[in-house]
Amino acid sequence: MPLKTLVKVGGLTNLSDARYCAGMGVDMIGFQVIPGQPNYIEPQRFQEIRGWVAGPLIVAEVYGLQTAAELDAVIEQYKPDYLESGVHEIALVKNYPLPYILALNANETLPGQATKPAMVMIAKGQTTIDDIPMMIVVESAEEALSSLVLTNVKGVALKGGPEIKPGLKNYDAIASVLEVLDED
């Protein structure tokens, strides 16, 4: 299922979400990999999920990172394609060893001393940055469609959610966005 734009679904915690996203043609799936953070997924469970999923690039969400050594362990244990962090984590690790997505909150700006991110993820309505591809966080199909016409927007970002019980999941919110982005 080819999509009209790049799509990242983050905060995944289970195989059902990962397989659904892969089957729907999502480009990137993200997992919180720092212990103690909401939606943290431990390395063993992540490896089990990764063994069942092919297609999407893997994003290690490193929000809550405390040291550069912790990042080295994440890269070793999870072997991600991309990293994703906020401004706080950039202050700890100035030069990420992998391409990264920088999530900016409403009043934050791109740190001047950091390596240029591959993409910047912002909320709808935030100011875009001219020379860096943007990803807009959306919650509805309408937001996704309206984001596509913005200058410098490379894609949209969605959040996964918890399973009702193993194997049982409501995909209505994600499905409505993916349906409007379907190129067929």
pLDDT in tens, 102-136: 999 888 877 776 678 999 998 877 776 778 888 98
Note whether 112 and 95 are within 8 A (CB).
no
Using one digit for the tens of pLDDT, what is the confidence trace for 160-181?
876 666 665 666 778 788 888 8
Alpha-carbon distance of 31 to 86, in angstroms, equals 15
Share of the chain above pLDDT 90, in %: 46
How is the chain split into domains, by residue range? Answer: 6-181
Q: Residue 171 has what pLDDT? A: 66
When pLDDT is cut at 50, 70 and 90, the band that residue 140 belongs to is: confident
SS3 (DSSP) at 58 = strand
CATH class of 6-181: alpha beta
- Beta strands (DSSP E) in the chain are 6-10, 28-32, 57-61, 82-85, 100-103, 119-123, 134-137, 153-159
